[in-house]
Amino acid sequence: MLWLLPVGVLAISSASILIRLTPADPVAITFWRLAFATFIVLAAGAVKGLGLPRGRDLAFSLLSGVFLAVHFLSWIPSLFLTTVAASTTLVNIHPIVMLFLSRALGERINKTTAAGVLAATVGALLITFSPGGLLGNLLAIVGAFSFAGYLAAGRVVRSSVGTLGYVAVAYGAAALVSLGVGLALRTNLTDYDPYTFFMFLLIASIPMMMGHTVFNYLLGRYRAVTIAASTLGEPVGATLLAVPIFGEVPTGTVTLGAQGVALPLQAIGIAVTLLGLFVVIREEIKASR
C-alpha cells in the first residue's frame, strides 16, 4: 500500500495553491475545508459503516481533531503572510518532532531512517531560501508542531479503529473547533459567492480527502515517522506549482568548484529531499517485511 504515499503527497501539494486562489478569510477556509470533509466521510460511512471509536480511542480521536484544527488555523493564515515555499516547508519540519514522538509510540527508528528524515528536512529547508514574512513563518512552525501531535494521536487510534470512524471524529472535532474560533473572532463564514464555496469543496476533496485521509489510512499500516517524512514532498510540489501560478521563484544560489559554478538552492533542496524520502521509504519497506 506504500504506492498510496505519492498519491497523498501530490494531493496535499495542491493545498497551498488552492487556498491562495480562494478569496475568503483563512478561518473560513479552515472551517469549510473540515466541514465538507466531515460530510464526505459521513456519506461514505453511511454506505460502508463508520465504526466510531470509543473510550480511550474516542479521547485520542478528539485530541487529534484539536491538533488538526490548530494546524490549519495557524498554517492557512501563514500562506497569506509569507511565500508558498517558506510556508509549506516550515509547516513540514514536523518529521523531526516525530523522530522523538515515535519512541513514545513504541516505533523502532534505526539510524538510516533518522538520517533519511534529517536529509529530507534539510533539503526542504533549502527550498525556502526566498523572501518571506516573519509572522507567516512563525505560524507555519506552529502548524508543524500541531501536525506532529495530530499524527501521533492518530497513530494511537488507527492501530485499533478503522479509517472512516477515526477521521469522522477527528475532522468533525476540528471543524467544531474552527467554527468556535470563527464565531469568537466574528469571522465571515457564510457570505461568499458560489465560486468560493466551490473552492472550499475542492480543497476538502483533493488535499483533505485524497491527502489527509490517505495518510490516515496508511497510519494503520506503517510507522508515523514514515507518513510524516513523506509529507516533505509537499514543499517540492507546492514550490514548483507556485512558480508559474504566482510567479514566486525561490532565490539563492550556491557556488561550487574553482570555476564558480552557481547552482540554485531550490534545485539542490528538491534533490536532497527526494533522496531523503527514498531512504525513509526503503527502510519502511524493509521494516514491514
State residue 1's pLDDT score: 72
Which helix H or strand E contains 231, and what residues bound it? none
State residue 91's pLDDT score: 83
State residue 127's pLDDT score: 63
State residue 72's pLDDT score: 97
Which residue from 129, 138, 146, 137 is spatially nearest to 94, judged by alpha carbons?
Answer: 146
Which stretches of the chain score pLDDT less than 70? 2, 124, 127-133, 249-267, 288-289
State residue 39's pLDDT score: 97
Are the C-beta atoms of residues 92 and 144 closer than 8 Å to each other?
A: yes
State residue 261's pLDDT score: 53
112, amino acid identity: T
State residue 125's pLDDT score: 72
State residue 247's pLDDT score: 83
Are the C-beta atoms of residues 99 and 257 closer than 8 Å to each other?
A: no
pLDDT digit string, tens, across residues 91-103: 877 777 777 777 7
Which residue from 86, 6, 1 is spatially nearest to 278, judged by alpha carbons?
Answer: 6
CA distance linking residue 224 with residue 94, whole number of Å: 11
Are the C-beta atoms of residues 21 and 181 closer than 8 Å to each other?
A: no
Domain spans of the chain?
A: 4-288
Please give the grid coordinates belonging to residue 75.
498554517
